[in-house]
Structure 1
């Protein structure tokens, strides 16, 4: 990982934080020109050339990625960054461009919008979770103890993080080309300081450090032209992921003015350290042998490590199914497995997306676009002792509702079990465990109870961000004091 340490901002951070309660300058008024639209199968119109590609498009496989964080010390130069970024960012309409599966996204925190001079009257129309910031929401998210903000990697969670630029490409060489394409946006701007970088990648096997195939599930969004990974799932309303469009409840969330809010989205970035050796030891200590170890791993996740779901391969792994994107995510729970004898109700994937299962809460209101990229070197196969290397997952959530999507799932489904009748039981993989509660596997005639779960994943930091549309990036660049 490359990390830059730079001088602190000449403007006190407290002034910027107050601005996310904020004192404001007058915003300029720019009318959004009518742009070409893409009409979905149900007549939904999305202005794809105004939406950042990172909002809707699944990532390529394999891929490399990098996250760059910046602090704005000079407002005028920060606005220049926005103007330049509008030319570097890839739109959702660029899928057939020469860039192919390479793209750049730009996100701004609440303190970043304040540093750019967005007035308080505008910031007050953004989601209140966004205005508070991730570190202020730590307890609700289960980020306590080792995962508490005071233990986060600097500068994550601090008022210094104003802009996050993410670049994604199919391989490291194309990634560097994408970074170079974005470099003119921030190069030679001494008032915009690069303060953090995290390089990530995806293996050709699509697995993460615990050994599971990742990136299997992606929802269909009306009007996006992107086919979802589960053919049994009805496409979700565009407003669940793109601001300014009707959502599942019929409303439309649009931060003001519309030129700033429409066609944007919220993004959650989290750096999650994975304790791979401890995870391996837990599986081995809980199992009667290698085959049982793999079964326990599958029951904890809800999928075999090949990617084959227990819903479709309940008795044994099916690697061919695991690599088949047309079949490996096409299933439901309620009709075939309401009691969780195949896929436990408390496993990771059933908590994160209960699909058609009868749970507390309307599942479609909490659906998310999730993306993950591993960082750090893999722990060699068979190693059961930690080697001290930092390795884990850069998690990204995209959605229009921070509260009822990301925060609800994190607090009510991942770090509690009441929604499916399991009391305070937490997600076995990512839950904020205290070493007291174990994991229960439904089984006939008697359920199987595993030993108390340690914490396998520790939060190293994160940010709540806003992904402006391309026209909003230009609007931010043209702001006047």
Structure 2
């Protein structure tokens, strides 16, 4: 039977399902047909993204391509959500076992990762569905997916597709994600797939991703949290679907009473028209290669810190390390260790807290309205500012599944080559979720308030527009202060001695240090749909 996509906090191991929701049997059957990395990240530290353009000139070429895709599911190569769930359980149990035998946490992690399994995911573009001439009723109907990423550049202020990196300029049919903690095992499997594709006359383009587990000083540490190249702990706040993950957020991330991270299944899942009528579900994925200019970001951070210092301690205006850290936190919305700037003006909370809202900062004097995490997840601001129901705001969240590319360092030099993020996100509607967040929030200079400017991390002006034409974003003169009086200027004589009113923010233009270098929109089909491709007729 089909499952209820409105359910939150699913637990495949519990038979205690409310009668109005999904039975354990129905849930496990759906998860066994659903691909992994949707409801929960695959969690591996190394990945290869194989972009495939099949030979499709003849019926025989198309048939072989469809059969190869079917084999990815029929041979149990592609990882189901249920298998991912079971492997994660076995991973945790084995880790506890080796820890019980006296191993340190670092030693235990290394041993457990060495015996973990390879994750494989298979995604198709709309061009892929069309080029393989799959029956029209098998193709998902999201309008943005059908149009493809190349057609959405103006909406998203992206560079024109002719300026993308060459591999992304061509028509892409499929993406295979292979991820593992053991790089030797990962490379062997990638070679196997590459050899198979070569036999079909196809040479895949490969992007390499690495989770940067670095401590606060930038040194590699397998037990450290994952950071992105600007230096900030990444992936803290995600919509959560499993009861276990929600419980962990309640226990380890400060609770869930101020911000509830749970989400219903329909946040990311839709019926797969090509899959089993009862168990077939899939998800839309946005893929974007985002190059990060770390030197530019750091320069903006220091300039902003200098202004912060001039207001915080004008007699000693040189910015301190604390000023620089606060400048970065204003830009991102969190300090580098994950501490929310809305909660305090210095790092140090630890445990990657996520139980916060902006209810106590309606004027943006602690966390600026333009800060990345506030722009992309307003946490009730839309309800307060525009009367939009909180339930609607929550439906626009995306599920991020990205990974960094380039040299593993927080201080990349020009000789190190390009660095950035292989951005991936899952959703049930590309237009209503990713595109809305990027275009109407991150890029819109009057969201959340008029003149708040671009998101300093991912916001961009229309391609070809000068950075100097962007709105200078407003930043707090003093953390948490609403003081609007200036006693240093001549006073208005009426009334006598009344100090001159002044704004509690100062304007400064920062941002646009992330550039989109190429991408595509994909659908993650159910395993039953993939298997059916092998016998599918042409439309």
CA contact (8 A) 1:90 1:103 kept: yes
1:133 aligns with one of 121, 145, 148: 148
1:93 aligns with one of 77, 82, 87: 82
Count of matched residue positions in the alignment of Structure 1 and Structure 2: 420
- Paired residue for 2:401? 371
Q: Which has the larger radius of gyration?
A: 2
SS of match in other structure, 1:406 = helix
Q: How does 1:30-429 map to 2 (within 5 A)?
A: 38=12, 43-44=21-22, 46=27, 47-60=30-43, 63-73=45-55, 74-86=61-73, 87-94=76-83, 95-97=85-87, 100=116, 102-123=118-139, 126-143=141-158, 147-159=159-171, 161-176=172-187, 179=190, 183-184=192-193, 187=196, 190-191=199-200, 193-205=202-214, 206-221=226-241, 226-227=245-246, 229=249, 231=256, 232-233=259-260, 235-244=262-271, 255=273, 259=277, 262-288=280-306, 289=319, 290-312=321-343, 314-318=344-348, 321-322=349-350, 324-325=351-352, 328-334=353-359, 336-357=360-381, 358=383, 359-360=385-386, 361=388, 362-378=392-408, 381=411, 386-387=414-415, 389-423=417-451, 425-429=453-457
Alignment deviations for residues 422-473 of structure 1 (CA, whole Å, 9 cap, x no partner): 3472111111142332221245324333532352011000010010011111
CA change 1:260–1:77 in 2 (3 A) is farther
Q: Distance in 2 between matches of 1:447 and 1:54?
A: 44
1:440 aligns with 2:440: no
How much has 1:420 moved relative to structure 2? Answer: 1.7
CA change 1:259–1:108 in 2 (3 A) is farther
TM-score by length of 1: 0.80
More helix, by proportion:
2
CA change 1:396–1:176 in 2 (3 A) is same
RMSD after superposition: 2.8
- Which moved further from structure 2: 357-366 or 211-220? 357-366
SS of match in other structure, 1:200 = strand
SS of match in other structure, 1:398 = strand
Q: Distance in 1 between matches of 2:38 and 2:243?
A: 10
Q: Distance in 2 between matches of 1:414 and 1:261?
A: 36
CA change 1:192–1:108 in 2 (3 A) is farther
CA contact (8 A) 1:134 1:157 kept: no
Q: Distance in 1 between matches of 2:417 and 2:379?
A: 36
SS of match in other structure, 1:337 = coil
For structure 1, the residue ranges without an aligned partner over 5 or more in a row are 1-30, 245-253
SS of match in other structure, 1:264 = strand
TM-score by length of 2: 0.72
How much has 1:152 moved relative to structure 2? Answer: 0.6
Q: Distance in 1 between matches of 2:449 and 2:279?
A: 39
How much has 1:121 moved relative to structure 2? Answer: 4.7
Q: Distance in 1 between matches of 2:227 and 2:266?
A: 31
- Paired residue for 1:466? 523
Alignment deviations for residues 180-215 of structure 1 (CA, whole Å, 9 cap, x no partner): 6xx359716633513311101012231111111111
Q: Distance in 2 between matches of 1:428 and 1:474?
A: 44
- Which moved further from structure 2: 231-240 or 108-117? 231-240
- Paired residue for 2:458? 430
How much has 1:375 moved relative to structure 2? Answer: 0.7
Q: Distance in 1 between matches of 2:48 and 2:395?
A: 30
Q: Distance in 1 between matches of 2:243 and 2:519?
A: 28
Q: Distance in 1 between matches of 2:122 and 2:358?
A: 37
CA contact (8 A) 1:58 1:218 kept: no
Alignment deviations for residues 248-274 of structure 1 (CA, whole Å, 9 cap, x no partner): xxxxxx546765993111111110000
CA contact (8 A) 1:260 1:475 kept: no
Q: Distance in 2 between matches of 1:333 and 1:259?
A: 42
For structure 2, the residue ranges without an aligned partner over 5 or more in a row are 3-10, 56-60, 91-114, 215-225, 307-318, 462-466, 484-502
Q: Distance in 1 between matches of 2:243 and 2:526?
A: 15
Q: Distance in 1 between matches of 2:227 and 2:410?
A: 14
- Paired residue for 2:218? none
CA change 1:168–1:59 in 2 (3 A) is same
SS of match in other structure, 1:346 = coil
SS of match in other structure, 1:88 = coil
Q: Distance in 2 between matches of 1:51 and 1:225?
A: 19
CA change 1:259–1:424 in 2 (3 A) is farther
